[in-house]
Amino acid sequence: MKKIHLLLVKAFIRPFFVTFFIVMFILLMLFLFKYVDDLIGKGFEWYVILELMYYASAANVSMALPLSILLSSIMTFGTLGENYELVAIKSAGISLQKAMMPLLVLIIGLAISSFIFSDYMLPKANLKFGSLLWDIRNKKLSFLIKEGVFNNSIPGYSIRVDKKYDNGKLKNVMIYDHTGNNGIAKIIIAKEGKMSKDDDYLLLKLHDGVRYEESSGKNTSYNPRQELTRMRFKETDQKFDISSFKMNRTDEEGFRGNTQMLDLKGLKKKEDSLSRELDSVNKFAALNVSSYYKQNNYTKGYTKELPKVKAVEEPVLKTVPKDQKLAVVQGALDQANSVMQTASGRMSDFADRTKAIIKVQIEYQKKFTLAVSCLLLFFIGAPLGAIIRKGGLGLPVVVAIVFFLLYHIIATVSEKSATTGSLTPFFGMWLAIIILSPLGAFLTYKATVDSALFDVNYFKQIFLNLLKKFNRKKAAEGS
């Protein structure tokens, strides 16, 4: 019995790790294609991109882990069925459920690990990923001098060179300096230059050039006569501040309140605070709007007796004197506009806070759905492999992708519906599991009774029998 269990575990682990890393690699490539515009042309070191991919891979576990379990379970039991090893196991008096027991224990361990991962590690990885991606997106493009093109990357300067060499030498350099307060650019033209760069500054050593500086007259008032200063130089240095091109790391505490970066305790605390804020918004809105509908019920002088309510049997406007009608209508219109503006502002605030609460509840349920999806897809994949009895990367891969896409589409659509409020967050996040759980139970039952659910010869024989019955019936009617 222990040898059989060890055989099944070894047969499962190898395809599991292979498919898991293949799926992770594919998802990381898709990640690079998505953020390629934010990474190219900014002069990042290789370890910055590698760090970003490392943090992004944590979010891909929620898709790679269930797919790997589904595919590896189909391949494992498909290979055992194809080699008649399942038949040998059943002939030894071991049922399919007992044969699946060691793998079930392993999958339960993976499900518990995935829950701990999604509650403890994933929020920290999302925090690192979010802050790093923010810094990458806000970093300026690397300072690159291109031949024959004015470069305006450095604030206040426009630089153009005719020729640029690999050793940093430049030919025919032209610099427009717009940093002056009078709005008139200073121009520097040099035949040759040498470029060097440190952490915060770009230094240009220019040779054989001219510096032009144009200014207004000596008087402070407007003077159409302007002065032009021309200075020739054999060698001069021009220094540019490029510290803004460095990527400064943002404090991660500013991102810690985001929903995806909280654990179960933090999500519960955030939901409670948002609910209290929503209650305050509702109470304040009701108090503010009710002030427009306040009715005064008092008489002149001091008295404990309330006057009788006067019944108005005709339109209210007819009870107003003619000389006051215009003022009354205008006042009522102003109040109606005030009520509408107040209500519209409170409604948008109410909708935003309600949407934030829904997102928190969805993220709370995600912590559990990943672990349960691992169990569900195992109970779909293992019976499927035992039924189709095909191993390798052919038919099992196709079947696994079909069932995973079915699960993923249902989960995505239901999550979107829950986000918009069409479904409750709990039902929206568990809908895919609720729909596919009967399928897993049905497939397990079919595999236990050795059903020919995916046997082509079985369906072919059924079709031939129906065709023979149809031909006999037709022949009997003809005679």
> Taking the CA atoms of the chain, what radius of gyration do you get in angstroms?
37
Nearest to 449 by CA among 387, 399, 380, 396: 387
Report domain extents, the chain.
157-218+225-245
DSSP 153-175: -STTEEEEEEEE-TTSEEEEEEE
pLDDT band at 137 (very low <50, low <70, confident <90, very high): low
Q: Looking up tokens 């029998």, which residue turns up?
A: 465
Q: Looking up tokens 């440190």, which residue turns up?
A: 198
Nearest to 62 by CA among 368, 286, 332, 285: 368
pLDDT band at 101 (very low <50, low <70, confident <90, very high): confident
CA distance 136 to 270: 28
By the 10 Å C-beta count (0-12 exposed, 13-18 middle, 19+ buried), 175 is classed as buried
Angle of helix 46-82 versus helix 395-420 axis, rounded to 10: 120
More confident residue, 259 or 193: 193
Q: What is the pLDDT of residue 203?
A: 79
Tokens of 465: 């029998």
Q: What is the pLDDT of residue 139?
A: 64
Q: Which amino acid is at 370?
A: L
Judged by DSSP in three states, 206 sits in strand
Each residue of 292-310: pLDDT tens digit? 665 554 545 555 666 676 6
Q: Is 168 left (phi over 0), alpha (psi -120 to 50) or beta?
A: left
Instruction: Tell me, yes or no, if the pTM score tops 0.75.
Output: no
How many residues belong to the chain? 479
Judged by DSSP in three states, 163 sits in strand
Whether 456 shows a pLDDT value over 60: the answer reads no
Residue 153: how many other CB atoms lie within 10 Å = 17
Per DSSP, which regions of 216-366 are E strands?
Answer: 227-241
Whether 42 shows a pLDDT value over 70: the answer reads no
CA distance 272 to 250: 28
Mean pLDDT, the chain, integer: 77
CA distance 374 to 262: 22
pLDDT band at 439 (very low <50, low <70, confident <90, very high): confident
Q: What is the DSSP letter of 147?
A: B
Angle at 117 between CA 116 and CA 118, to 5 degrees: 95
Q: What's the average model confidence in pLDDT over 310-330?
A: 74
Lowest mean pLDDT among 143-157, 172-186, 208-222, 427-441: 208-222
Judged by DSSP in three states, 333 sits in helix
Q: Is 116 left (phi over 0), alpha (psi -120 to 50) or beta?
A: alpha
Residue 98: how many other CB atoms lie within 10 Å = 14
Q: What's the average model confidence in pLDDT over 337-353?
A: 76
Give me the sign of the Cα torsion angle 372, 374, 377, 383.
Answer: negative
Q: What is the pLDDT of residue 242?
A: 64
